[in-house]
């Protein structure tokens, strides 16, 4: 997305006309972070953003960097439920450069053209890696950064008549917490405390956390608690 005095080009496909488009100091608060669950053979990383009110985003762009000696990319996908341009599919995650995955997102709701994306734990994308080794515990180096560098803009809000580019002052990149799948409290061990925590998550409707998802079905249920209990009792 290039900065222009007359228009905002989102991901090379969607043009928003504005009287000016220049980065400004903003009080907008967007926190980007990740969570990952690993086994002996794979690692799955979920990338989230907390987009604090009153900020709404028109676009976002993140780059996940990883150790090529420890990981190879299997698949990458973006969250098309919250981020979409009408009914069109556009710009799949870029995995072409070893050591990085770039995910670019934009939103245009044809039913409400002014609507953006906001809220806590908004999913940006999900990346699945194959591991080149099988050691446990596993702590690869993973980092998050802006998806594209200047002159491209990544995080752009829905302010009118002039949208703000938040890349320089309004986006904070946090860490990626990695834990073994089934280690629900991420303390480095799988115990009955993890099973009890997953039971509480399920009964309370707490947000999805990938390393609590013991059976890797993208949901938290009592089946996960039972599997964690079995792993603990058998030492598996």
pLDDT digits (tens, 9 = 90+) for 201-222: 999 999 999 999 999 999 999 9
Based on the fold, state whether residues 169 and 200 are members of the same structural domain: no
How far out from the chain centre does Cα 46 lie?
A: 5
Based on the fold, state whether residues 174 and 185 are members of the same structural domain: no
Based on the fold, state whether residues 89 and 138 are members of the same structural domain: yes
How far out from the chain centre does Cα 188 lie?
A: 23
* Residue count (the chain): 236
The number of folded domains in the chain is: 2
Based on the fold, state whether residues 206 and 93 are members of the same structural domain: no
Based on the fold, state whether residues 132 and 225 are members of the same structural domain: no
Question: What is the token pair recorded at 38?
Answer: 């690993």
In this prediction, residue 18 has a pLDDT band, given cuts at 50, 70 and 90, of very low
pTM to 2 decimal places = 0.87
Q: What is the mean pLDDT of the chain?
A: 88
Helix/strand/coil for 142:
strand
Q: Among all chains, which residue has been given the structure tokens 């907390």?
A: 50
In a domain, 18, yes or no: no
Kindly tell me the burial class for residue 218, based on how many C-beta atoms sit within 10 Å of its own C-beta (0-12, 13-18, 19 or more): exposed
Cis peptide before 137 (omega within 30 of 0): yes
Based on the fold, state whether residues 78 and 171 are members of the same structural domain: yes
Based on the fold, state whether residues 78 and 51 are members of the same structural domain: yes
Based on the fold, state whether residues 229 and 144 are members of the same structural domain: no
What is the extent of the structural domain holding 210? 181-234
Based on the fold, state whether residues 38 and 96 are members of the same structural domain: yes
Based on the fold, state whether residues 64 and 121 are members of the same structural domain: yes
Please say which residue of 179, 206, 223 terminates a domain.
179
In a domain, 12, yes or no: no
Please say which residue of 136, 159, 179 terminates a domain.
179
Helix H or strand E encompassing 34: strand 30-38
pLDDT digits (tens, 9 = 90+) for 77-120: 999 999 998 876 678 999 999 999 999 999 998 889 899 999 99
Of the listed ranges 21-30, 63-72, 163-172, 217-226, the one predicted with least confidence: 21-30
Residue 150 sits in a domain whose CATH number is: 2.60.40.680
In a domain, 7, yes or no: no
pLDDT digits (tens, 9 = 90+) for 177-205: 999 999 999 999 999 999 999 999 999 99
Q: Does the pLDDT at position 5 exceed 80?
A: no
Residue 222 sits in a domain whose CATH number is: 1.10.1330
Report CA-CA distances (Å) from 171 to 57, 71, 223.
11, 27, 37
In a domain, 43, yes or no: yes
Please say which residue of 132, 164, 179 terminates a domain.
179
């Amino acid at each position: 997305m290039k900065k222009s005095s007359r228009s905002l080009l989102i991901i090379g496909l969607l043009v928003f006309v504005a009287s000016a488009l220049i980065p400004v100091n903003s009080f907008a608060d967007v926190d980007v972070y990740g969570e990952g669950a690993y086994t002996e053979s794979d690692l799955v990383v979920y990338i989230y953003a907390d987009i604090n009110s009153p900020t709404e985003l028109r676009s976002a762009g993140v780059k996940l960097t990883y150790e090529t000696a420890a990981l190879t990319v299997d698949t990458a996908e973006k969250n098309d439920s919250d981020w979409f341009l009408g009914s069109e599919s556009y710009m799949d995650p870029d995995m072409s450069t070893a050591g990085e995955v770039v995910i670019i997102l934009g939103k245009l709701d044809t039913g409400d053209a002014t609507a953006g994306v906001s809220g806590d734990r908004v999913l940006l994308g999900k990346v699945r890696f194959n591991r080149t080794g099988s050691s446990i515990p596993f702590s690869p180096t993973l980092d998050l950064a802006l998806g594209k560098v200047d002159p491209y803009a990544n995080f752009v809000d829905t302010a009118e008549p002039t949208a703000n580019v938040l890349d320089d002052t309004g986006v904070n990149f946090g860490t990626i917490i990695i834990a073994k799948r089934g280690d629900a409290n991420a303390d480095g061990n799988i115990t009955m405390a993890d099973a009890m925590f997953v039971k509480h998550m399920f009964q309370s409707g707490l947000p999805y956390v990938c390393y609590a998802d013991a059976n890797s079905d993208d949901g938290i249920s009592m089946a996960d608690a039972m599997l964690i209990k079995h792993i603990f009792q058998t030492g598996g």
